[in-house]
Amino acid sequence: MKNVAGKKILITGAAMGMGKLYAELAVAEGAEAVVLWDINEAALETTVAELTAAGGSVTAYTVDVSDRTQIEKAAAQVRSDIGDPDIVFNNAGVVRGNAYFWETDNTRDTEFTMKINSLAPMFIAREFLPGMIASGNESRLINVASAAGLTANPRMASYCGSKWATVGWSDSVRLELEQAGHKQVKVTTVCPYYISTGMFEGAKSAPLLPILKPNDVVDEVWKQMKKGTPFVVLPKTVLLSEAFKGILPTGVRDFVAGRVLGVYKTMDDFTGRK
């Protein structure tokens, strides 16, 4: 895929932050339709106005993706309004942190995190993949996970769990599409370290793991999405955790990550977006 000109694109968590940046790129490349989902109606209206002024054909839906019924209703409305999207960005996400797991609340923290970070991407993909497959057109499914989906970290157990689920599910869907012969539909799983959007306010960098800039991440993901790259891991040094898991005893790995690199302390001062 050289560009997204003429494509229909749906982005969740699109009213601000990374989602808005993806939408701006879609408009700039001449997407036929850009569909924005977000729970923040006021921010959606502002973003739609800005993107429309930039020449985009933009439609917005106020959707709480933690609610499967709302996902199903909004998906049906999208199909009715513009047809099935060619590209879906499962970008919406939440993080709860700075507490040990046994100190967290089952509903406010664990259940809420799993609904948005794990279940919502699955339900949304289930709504739109049949149309992508049936169209025969070059299509993309982008699932934003996290570096926390590749390695454990204290004070964010539910978040790590939700992103591990997303990574395993997303790459399994990629394999299923290939196995079933639907190679025109490519799946990209995105695993970035902390990004300076406000969502991870207070989280710290570590040696070899700098806090990432939103535009840098969006530009790289966008480029790799068009190529159909299966995994986008940022920075590449995150992959060291995968290597360590394969070759180092757990105690040694914990010593390197926790004591030498300080990774296990990066969430100690986390506050998140206010």
Query: In angstroms, rounded to a whole number, what is the distance separating the alpha carbons of residues 169 and 187?
Result: 11
Q: Crossing angle of helices 68-81/120-135, nearest 10°?
A: 30
Q: Which residues are known to be catalytic?
A: 159
Query: In angstroms, rounded to a whole number, what is the distance separating the alpha carbons of residues 243 and 140?
Result: 29
Residue identified by tokens 């993806």 is: 22
Query: In angstroms, rounded to a whole number, what is the distance separating the alpha carbons of residues 57 and 21?
Result: 16
Query: In angstroms, rounded to a whole number, what is the distance separating the alpha carbons of residues 18 and 230?
Result: 20
Q: What angle do CA 197, 200, 203 make, to 5 degrees?
A: 130
Helix ranges (H only) for 82-213 are 112-114, 120-135, 157-179
Query: In angstroms, rounded to a whole number, what is the distance separating the alpha carbons of residues 106 and 17?
Result: 27
Contact assessment for residue 225 and residue 141, using Cβ atoms and an 8 Å cutoff: no
For residue 90, what are the contacts with CB-CB under 8 A and spacing of at least 6? Answer: 12, 120, 121, 124, 125, 141, 142, 143, 144
